[in-house]
């Protein structure tokens, strides 16, 4: 029988079937004594592991972290950046140097050509080392029109001028394989030819062939062996002579370039239509023929006959 307090009504019992009266009260009593439920403990751990929402770290925590990091590297020396050397650019330097050298050579060659072209053939001839100018040594030797029949004697060997046969030796780049008459060769030089002679005992067949290439097919040029020559090679033009020891001597080309068609006293004289036979005895063609109109034997029509 329940006791009414202050006229209030009593609440029905909330004890579940099978439960003991006072369980709920006991649970409350445990909570009251300070014991924490397992769920509460787990929630507390999570709450302690992170700061509350909206809260900030304690003042001075970040500078302290930076100071700690700075303290770690305080004992290290600062690292100096490494500079990578690219080296000297030799490629462009060499290229520009080569281009400059070529330009200098071109300019120099052009200046030399202008200088050479401005020189006369006599200056070019006199500048050749070893050349002998018989026009200065014996001016009478280079007089034109000194014609005679038969064998003649000469002071030079091979001869370079003086009295000669009425017939010239053909000088259209002819290369003779045997000795020719001096009298005909001198007449060819009077017309402006260069006569190339060689000692067959001092040159090989290959060297003779090399020398012949400088003559073959060139007008106002002729070549023949000259046994007993004191040098391997001797070049003659009207009043000039040059003797050399080697086929490769550059003065050979210089002599030919300066004196061919220049040294001859009879400018415009023919080289074709001359004597083509070999042998040291002159061929006196026309000696027994009557002369017509003052024309001498061997003289081509239209070619002026020199006087003297």
With cut-offs at 50, 70 and 90, classify the pLDDT of residue 3: very low
Task: Look at 259 and 26; give whichever has higher pLDDT.
Answer: 259
With cut-offs at 50, 70 and 90, classify the pLDDT of residue 160: very high
Distance (Å, whole) CA 33 – CA 44: 18
Highest mean pLDDT among 7-21, 143-157, 190-204: 190-204
> For residue 281, which phi and psi values (nearest 5 degrees)?
-85, 125
Q: Is the pLDDT of residue 76 over 50?
A: yes
- The residue among 226, 215, 236, 225 whose CA lies nearest residue 172 is 215
Residue 250 is predicted with a pLDDT of 96
With cut-offs at 50, 70 and 90, classify the pLDDT of residue 225: very high
Degrees (nearest 5) of the Cα angle 74, 75, 77? 95
Distance (Å, whole) CA 111 – CA 276: 43
**DSSP per position, 72-127:** HTTTSPPPPPPPPP----HHHHHHHHHHHHHHHHHHHHHHHHHHHHHS-HHHHHHT
pLDDT tens per residue across span 162-199: 999 999 999 999 999 999 999 999 999 999 999 999 99
pTM of the model: 0.59
Residue 95 is predicted with a pLDDT of 85
pLDDT tens per residue across span 204-218: 999 999 999 999 999
Average pLDDT over residues 118-140: 90
Residue 103 is predicted with a pLDDT of 81
- The residue among 212, 209, 153 whose CA lies nearest residue 186 is 153
With cut-offs at 50, 70 and 90, classify the pLDDT of residue 69: low
Residue 209 is predicted with a pLDDT of 98
Average pLDDT taken over every residue of the chain:
77
Residue 230 is predicted with a pLDDT of 96
Residue 115 is predicted with a pLDDT of 53
Q: Is the pLDDT of residue 136 over 50?
A: yes
* Beta bridge pairs of residue 197: 224, 234
Residue 192 is predicted with a pLDDT of 96
Instruction: Give every CB contact of residue 50 below 8 A, 6+ residues apart in sequence.
Output: none
How many Cβ atoms are within 10 Å of 264's Cβ, its own excluded? 25
Point out the least confidently predicted range of 69-73, 96-100, 149-153, 257-261. 69-73
Task: Please answer whether residues 182 and 222 qualify as being in contact, where contact means their C-beta atoms are separated by less than 8 angstroms.
Answer: no
Q: Is the pLDDT of residue 25 over 60?
A: no
Q: Is the pLDDT of residue 71 over 60?
A: no
With cut-offs at 50, 70 and 90, classify the pLDDT of residue 72: low
What percent of the chain has pLDDT above 90?
A: 48
Average pLDDT over residues 251-275: 94
Task: Please answer whether residues 260 and 270 qualify as being in contact, where contact means their C-beta atoms are separated by less than 8 angstroms.
Answer: no
């Amino acid at each position: 029988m329940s006791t009414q307090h202050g006229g209030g009504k009593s609440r029905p019992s909330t004890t579940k079937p099978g439960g003991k009266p006072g369980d709920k009260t006991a649970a409350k009593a445990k909570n009251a004594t300070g014991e924490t439920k397992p769920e509460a403990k787990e929630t507390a751990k999570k709450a302690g592991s992170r700061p509350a929402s909206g809260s900030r770290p304690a003042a001075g925590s970040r500078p302290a972290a930076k100071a700690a990091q700075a303290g770690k590297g305080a004992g290290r020396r600062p690292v100096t950046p490494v500079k990578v050397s690219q080296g000297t650019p030799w490629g462009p330097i060499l290229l520009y140097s080569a281009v400059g050298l070529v330009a200098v050579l071109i300019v120099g060659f052009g200046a030399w050509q202008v200088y050479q072209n401005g020189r006369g053939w006599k200056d070019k001839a006199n500048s050749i080392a070893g050349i002998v100018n018989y026009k200065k040594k014996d001016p009478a030797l280079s007089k034109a029109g000194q014609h005679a029949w038969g064998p003649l004697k000469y002071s030079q060997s091979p001869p370079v001028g003086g009295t000669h046969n009425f017939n010239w030796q053909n000088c259209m780049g002819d290369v003779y394989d045997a000795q020719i008459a001096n009298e005909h060769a001198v007449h060819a030089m009077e017309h402006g030819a260069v006569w190339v002679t060689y000692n067959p005992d001092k040159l090989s067949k290959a060297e003779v062939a090399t020398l012949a290439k400088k003559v073959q097919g060139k007008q106002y040029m002729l070549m023949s062996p000259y046994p007993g020559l004191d040098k391997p090679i001797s070049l003659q033009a009207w009043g000039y002579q040059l003797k050399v020891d080697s086929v490769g001597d550059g003065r050979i080309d210089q002599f030919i370039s300066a004196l061919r068609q220049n040294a001859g006293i009879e400018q415009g004289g023919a080289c074709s239509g001359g004597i083509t036979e070999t042998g040291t005895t002159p061929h006196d063609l026309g000696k027994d023929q009557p002369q017509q109109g003052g024309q001498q034997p061997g003289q081509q029509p239209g070619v002026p006959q020199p006087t003297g």
